[in-house]
Amino acid sequence: DGGITQSPKYLFRKEGQNVTLSCEQNLNHDAMYWYRQDPGQGLRLIYYSQIVNDFQKGDIAEGYSVSREKKESFPLTVTSAQKNPTAFYLCASSSDSLYSGNTIYFGEGSWLTVV
């Protein structure tokens, strides 16, 4: 089935540790995105990538890092510098520019809890 796969679904991290969330898509989409969701705050953009080997900071990039070495993969690392990492993380992708009327499709999300 075509879609966006995020793993793991649930992840627990000790303070001071880095953790990487996986996002894989088989939709042949060029653009990929990471959003963070907190209750009452909607979705906020962390990083996005419109092409392989290129990515841009979103609105809340501090404490996060990404890579885009392959078209189908866009992993997100939550570093120890992220002061409040407990949240629901959503990966998304789109085929091309959103200005062309394309749609962003979302994965099922990953829950990260700092213990």
The residue ranges that bind another protein (CB under 8 A) are 4, 31, 33, 35, 40-45, 48, 50, 56, 58, 88, 90, 92, 97-99, 101, 103-109, 111
Task: Indicate if the alpha-carbon torsion angle 73, 78, 84, 88 is positive or negative.
Answer: positive
CB of 115 to another protein, least distance (A): 19
The amino acid at 100: S
Ranges of H-type helices in the chain: none
User: Within 10 A of 50 (CB to CB), how many other CB atoms are there?
Assistant: 15
Closer to another protein by CB, 67 or 102: give it: 102
CB of 5 to another protein, least distance (A): 11
Instruction: Give yes or no for a contact between 23 and 32, defined as CB atoms under 8 angstroms apart.
Output: yes
Closer to another protein by CB, 63 or 106: give it: 106
CB of 88 to another protein, least distance (A): 8
CB of 17 to another protein, least distance (A): 24
The amino acid at 87: A
| Among 111, 74, 67, 85, residue whose Cα is nearest residue 17 | 85
Closer to another protein by CB, 15 or 99: give it: 99
Closer to another protein by CB, 5 or 80: give it: 5
Beta bridge partners of 56: 48
